[in-house]
Amino acid sequence: MAEISRLSRPGGLRLAVRHRKGRGPTIVFLPGYMSDMEGGKALALDSWAAEKGRAMLRLDYSGCGASEGAFTDGTLTTWRDDVLFLIDRLVEGPFALVGSSMGGWLALLVGLARPERLTGLVGIAAAPDFTDWGFTEEQKLQILREGKIEEPSDYGDQPYVTTKAFWQSGEANRLLHGSIAIDCPVRLLHGQRDEVVPWRNALTLAQQLRSADVQTLLIKDGDHRLSREQDLARLIDAVATLPEPI
């Protein structure tokens, strides 16, 4: 496993990364909301990449994991810019993005910002536009009125906190209303027992992507995490079989 290193982004906060050089387009893993680079999917993919000699970059957004900053200061735009900063500083040449849940939304935004370097994209229960469909109208009003909303989490003791700044940033970066100008191969994995991100969203996203090479894999008994052994095998296969540039 690559050692943790830290890079100071503009503004001074230090972002934590694990970067290992190797062959092929660098695989960049983007965690989900309130997650970090030490999750099961990131570790499984990193282990496979190390075995195959593939270059890989794992990272923590500002305010998450081992990176500096307060989580509640983060927005979708902030974290997109964190990823772009780290890619521009550390990755030489092309890269492939693997994004889990919110990380799938960020992968799309990063891909749109660096289309000439993006060779492939894998979404795991990708959640673009969740500030729109993921909240009721009353919850949206509460966010605007009180500045944040807290919800119980199924994945830990800490509640999910959504700030007004994050919600507004998400609304400003919605993608599903029109064509998404990504032309590389895309693989979308989604569990049909996902109680967080509706699996039909994967079909909507596949339709909106401009790429002609989009494959959607629906796992009938899969949940939101897709972290079982068989799910991790599907993820690794999706990344391993992405066409590489000639």
Predicted pLDDT at 156: 66
Q: What's the Cα-to-Cα distance from 92 to each of 86, 186, 196, 212, 222, rounded to whole Å?
A: 11, 21, 35, 26, 35
- Residues noted as catalytic: 101, 194, 224
What pLDDT is stored for residue 58 in this prediction?
98
State CA 4 to chain mean position distance: 20
Confidence (pLDDT) at 158: 79
pLDDT at 170: 98
- Domains present along the chain, CATH in parentheses: 4-131+170-240 (3.40.50.1820)
Task: Give ∠ CA 107-88-68 in degrees, rounded to 5.
Answer: 75
Which residues of the chain, if any, have pLDDT below 50?
A: none
Q: Six-digit token pair at 176?
A: 């599903």
The pTM for the full model equals 0.96
* CB-neighbour burial class of residue 50 (10 A; exposed 0-12, middle 13-18, buried 19+): middle
Report which of 91, 69, 2, 95 is spatially closest to residue 42, judged by C-alpha positions.
Answer: 2
* Model pLDDT for residues 146-191, shown as the tens digit of each residue: 999 998 877 667 788 999 999 999 999 999 999 999 999 999 999 9
What pLDDT score does 245 carry?
75
How many CB atoms are closer than 10 A to CB 242?
21
